Amino acid sequence: MKAPTTPAVLTLMVLALAGAACAPVDEPMDLAATDAAARCFRADEVDNFRITDERLIYIHTRRSGAFRLDSSVANCADRAATAIEVEPYVGASHRLCPGEQARVRLTTSSNIPRSCIVRIEGPITDSAISGFPG
C-alpha cells in the first residue's frame, strides 16, 4: 500500500479543521440565572441563626452568606430557641431564594416547637445587623 502524499495529507487536515469550525458550541451561560442561583441557599446549608426580635430571624449559610427571615406575625421568633429548621413552604425544591416564603421551626429549651411562615430577604452583607461575620 502506498503512503499518502503530502498534498493529500494537507487536504485531510484542512477538511478536519473546517469541520471542527462548524461544530456546535455550547450556549453562553445566562449570567442573570447564575446570579439568581447564587443568591439562593439550600435548607441543609443553614449553620447558625440569631433572633433579634419577635419577627426577625437572621440565618447564616455555609455557601451563600447571611439572610433575614421576616415574619409578619409577632411572637413567631423566640429568643430562647436552641435550634432552627428552615424548609420550603410550598413546593418540593430544596433551594430557598429571596422573595420566597419558607416554614421555620424553632425548638426551645423546653422542647416545645414553634412553627411559622417567613419571607426570605437577602443575602445581606451588613454584619452589624445580622450578627454574623461579613
Domain-embedded: residue 60: yes
Give the Cβ contact number of residue 108 at 10 Å.
Answer: 14
Domain-embedded: residue 8: no
pLDDT band at 113 (very low <50, low <70, confident <90, very high): confident
Domain-embedded: residue 22: no
**The total number of structural domains that make up the chain:** 1
Compute the chain's Rg from CA coordinates.
26
Q: Is the pLDDT assigned to residue 3 strictly greater than 80?
A: no
| 46 closest CA partner among 81, 79, 84, 82 | 84
Return the higher-pLDDT residue of 25 and 110: 110
Domain-embedded: residue 73: yes
pLDDT band at 31 (very low <50, low <70, confident <90, very high): very low
pLDDT tens, position by position, 43-64? 999 999 999 888 899 999 988 8
Q: Is 102 exposed, middle or buried (0-12, 13-18, 19+ CB in 10 A)?
A: buried
Arithmetic mean of pLDDT, 12-28: 48
Domain-embedded: residue 25: no
pLDDT tens, position by position, 88-99? 998 777 899 999
Domain-embedded: residue 76: yes
Domain-embedded: residue 99: yes
Q: Is the pLDDT assigned to residue 132 strictly greater than 70?
A: no
Q: What is the mean pLDDT of the chain?
A: 76
Q: Exposure string (b/e) for 29-50, b if CB count within 10 Å is 16 or more? A: eeeeeeeeeeebbebebbeebb
* Omega prior to 113 cis, within 30 of 0: no
Its domain, for residue 47, covers 39-130
Domain-embedded: residue 66: yes
3-state secondary structure of 130: helix
Q: Is the pLDDT assigned to residue 72 strictly greater than 60?
A: yes
